Structure 1
Amino acid sequence: MMFRFQEEVEWEHRSKAAGRMHACGHDAHTAMLLGAARILHDHRHELQGTVVLLFQPGEEVGSGAKKMVEAGAVDNVEAIFGFHVTVMLPTGVVGSRAGPLLAGCGFFEAVITGKGGHAAIPHSSVDPVLAASSVVLALQSLVSREADPLEAQVVTVTRFRGGGAFNVIPDSATIGGTFRCFSNEGFMRLKRRIEEVIVAQSAVHRCGAVVDFHAGGRPLLPPTINSAALHAHFQAVAAETVGAGAVRAAMAPCMGSEDFAAFSEAVPSSHFYFVGIRNETAGSVHDAHSPHFRVDEGALPYGAAMHASLAMTYLQRKQREAPHDEL
């Protein structure tokens, strides 16, 4: 995705459009998958099945994978792997975990409506700013008082807009934010409770409220949960490809989200992992979405080799496990 901020690194691949940059590494993902395609093509006579390569668009807005699923891209696919580059791991290192890896993610926007009027006579108005302020505070109790302390969850309000003049109570106020959770059950409960709290707390202050969970066209993304069997496969392949010492097989889960989860819903046997790009010498030390973000191109062969090896060895294993007629 191209972001509207100025790229603050000087390098060969800097955007030619001012204020635009590729700040997350999806160009590297494409290059890695093209590299995997080359490897698979060179070894096509050794393949014992079909490999589908998915060049996923729109990851940042959370809609690309879903559209590909709807278009039939993963029909008849029985296992699927995906990756993302990260500066959390050095170049040459890969990592993942079994079970929940990335959180489910939702966004919400609520319009809280009252009755505007002059700030000097507040009793003649119904103040939506006060109602919205109460809503923001009440939403914090969903994690602190309703969630199991052992289950990580996040509810964060990031937007608060109401009125424009210092002496006028507006007719409405708008708040918005995000919520995250590692289980589908917890994620849907959070969604339900966010709406209930916003509507009920607004009513306490005599205001109405409408909640939108698809503001800006963003879909709800379920958690990214790795198959235990495919994670074992990933560990074995990674040890052979990059060396056992360069495999982080028990990474901590991350509250970030990934619409690879849409593929996982369609193909339950799924696995997502990270490819390290941290390299101080190359200047690859800044997190994604930073104007200083850059990819260490030395990481490209590792991603290409991992994806090609995961596919080839998976097909070989399935072929060995397939029942054969006795002569």
Structure 2
Amino acid sequence: MSNSLALKETIVSRGQTIDETFSYLHANPEISWQEVETTRYLVERMQALGLKVTTFADCTGLVAEWGEGKPVVGLRTDIDALWQEVDGEWRANHSCGHDAHMTMIVETVEALIASGYQPPGKLKILFQPAEEKGTGALKLVEKGVVDDIDYLYGVHLRPIQEMANGTAGPAIYNGGAMFLYGEITGVSAHGARPHLGVNAIEVAGAIISGIGQIHLNPMVPATVKMTMLQAGGESYNIIPDKARFALDLRAQTNQAMDELIARVRQMIEGIAASYQAQIKLEEGSRMVAAEVDEEAKGLMEQAIVDVLGADNLKPAPVSPGAEDFHYYTVERPRIKATMLALGCDLQPGLHHPHMQFEQSALKDGVGILSRVIVRTFEHAAAKTLG
């Protein structure tokens, strides 16, 4: 029996196991940097397969390794959940699909092993914490765990508005995102004597107006908006001298994001001078835009066709949503990376507290990820011989 056929039959036979893995992970969500029990569960699953497992003293997450030598092919999944209100209760909730991503990565490794596959090199599995904070990928980069990786693959469920169940795309062109936090200091005064004060709310209003005057290249999507404003107190006859605000910045390329940040800073400095106010700005976490490798994307395309057929291979979606997976290629440009965009009829949408999707798509994801690993090792070997 060919390895391809053995792998396909193994995945089909693991349908119940895939559902059980997902059910456990879905029922046990943990927020960013607190994925303690999730890490423990994943360690046990990987050690049961005989893989070498590395954990970290200062953070959650783990790395599992199978095989030796070169090339090194990586699989990455995010492991954290969101903190949100669900039916009136604030709690951890897997409404971004990370439970599904973990399930597919775990089951991909188990299916490959069960089919008798042996990687002609090393397969490295990254179970990354804190994607929702935008800091997990950078932590693993800092630890050097991606320095030896040649090819890296990830996966993300796609909303029904982008992609139907039974289809998939070979990449996700995520945009970049960044938060700016600001504190305005003006001068308090009596409401009857506004000329003696500097109204922090008026300064914030000028910032909102100034945002609308920022124009970048219209061919590259970019937006900035104020998403939080706090000012004033219980006495309505006092001109407030303090205000706090937050800005959400989005851009489809890293170059556009750099320009957007510079223009926002320039605008705010001008407003501060005009109103004779002080405005302190602090940068929050930044998520970089996708840097997709065409070679890895091509291998993912072939794997999708292998599993779903050519008619169900769809163009890579372009999304304003951010994903810290792309830090791996921005920080280590030698890594050839892409993310599988998996259609699954996900609705009402990502981050909705009652997000749902067709769980049958998990089997498709396992099949595609398994095939792209096999194809990548074969491709690397052919390149070496060539």
- Normalised to the residue count of structure 1, the TM-score between the two structures is 0.87
1:141 is the counterpart of 2:203: no
User: Residue by residue, what CA displacement relative to the aligned partner does 1:44-66 show, whole Å, maximum 9, x if unpaired?
Assistant: 54422211111121111111111
**Kept after mapping to 1: 8 A contact 2:316/2:341:** no
User: Residue by residue, what CA displacement relative to the aligned partner does 1:91-136 show, whole Å, maximum 9, x if unpaired?
Assistant: 2211145xx8111111001111111121121111111211111111
Q: How many residues of Structure 1 are paired with residues of Structure 2 in the alignment?
A: 301
| Aligned mate of 2:202, from 116, 130, 148 | 130
Supply the distance in 1 between the matched residues of 2:209 and 2:170 (Cα, whole angstroms).
35
1:270 is the counterpart of 2:350: no
Instruction: Give the SS at the match of 1:86.
Output: strand
1:304 is the counterpart of 2:366: yes
Alignment of 1:252-291 (within 5 A): 253-265=318-330, 266-267=332-333, 268-278=335-345, 284-291=346-353
The match for 2:231 is 162
Q: Which has the higher strand share?
A: 2
1:189 is the counterpart of 2:259: yes
User: Residue by residue, what CA displacement relative to the aligned partner does 1:136-156 show, whole Å, maximum 9, x if unpaired?
Assistant: 1102221xx3x1111111111
Supply the distance in 2 between the matched residues of 1:203 and 1:213 (Cα, whole angstroms).
20
Point out where structure 2 has 5 or more consecutive residues left out of the alignment. 1-80
Instruction: Give the SS at the match of 2:287.
Output: coil
Supply the distance in 2 between the matched residues of 1:63 and 1:256 (Cα, whole angstroms).
16
Instruction: Give the SS at the match of 2:155.
Output: strand
Instruction: Give the SS at the match of 2:305.
Output: helix
**Kept after mapping to 2: 8 A contact 1:7/1:21:** no
Instruction: Give the SS at the match of 2:228.
Output: strand
Measured after TM superposition, the shift of residue 163 of structure 1 is 1.0
**Kept after mapping to 1: 8 A contact 2:169/2:314:** yes
The match for 1:51 is 123
**Kept after mapping to 2: 8 A contact 1:3/1:23:** no
Alignment of 1:1-327 (within 5 A): 1-7=81-87, 19-43=91-115, 45-88=117-160, 89-97=163-171, 101-142=173-214, 145=215, 147-164=216-233, 165-214=235-284, 219-251=285-317, 253-265=318-330, 266-267=332-333, 268-278=335-345, 284-323=346-385
The change in CA–CA distance for 1:107 and 1:18 in structure 2 (over 3 A counts) is closer
Instruction: Give the SS at the match of 1:92.
Output: coil
Supply the distance in 2 between the matched residues of 1:46 and 1:249 (Cα, whole angstroms).
31
Supply the distance in 1 between the matched residues of 2:106 and 2:378 (Cα, whole angstroms).
22
**The 10-residue stretch of structure 1 (266-275 or 125-134) with the greater mean CA deviation from structure 2:** 266-275
The change in CA–CA distance for 1:7 and 1:311 in structure 2 (over 3 A counts) is farther
User: Residue by residue, what CA displacement relative to the aligned partner does 1:261-307 show, whole Å, maximum 9, x if unpaired?
Assistant: 111222541112311121xxxxx521011122123221111111111
Instruction: Give the SS at the match of 2:125.
Output: coil
Point out where structure 1 has 5 or more consecutive residues left out of the alignment. 9-16, 279-283
Q: Which letter maps to 1:153?
A: A
Supply the distance in 2 between the matched residues of 1:35 and 1:45 (Cα, whole angstroms).
14
**The 10-residue stretch of structure 1 (18-27 or 253-262) with the greater mean CA deviation from structure 2:** 18-27
Supply the distance in 1 between the matched residues of 2:202 and 2:259 (Cα, whole angstroms).
26
Supply the distance in 2 between the matched residues of 1:232 and 1:55 (Cα, whole angstroms).
24
Q: Which letter maps to 1:273?
A: L
Q: Which letter maps to 2:338?
A: H
Instruction: Give the SS at the match of 1:304.
Output: helix
Supply the distance in 1 between the matched residues of 2:305 and 2:362 (Cα, whole angstroms).
18
Measured after TM superposition, the shift of residue 5 of structure 1 is 0.6
**Kept after mapping to 2: 8 A contact 1:84/1:273:** yes
- Aligned-residue Cα RMSD (Å) equals 1.9
Instruction: Give the SS at the match of 2:367.
Output: helix
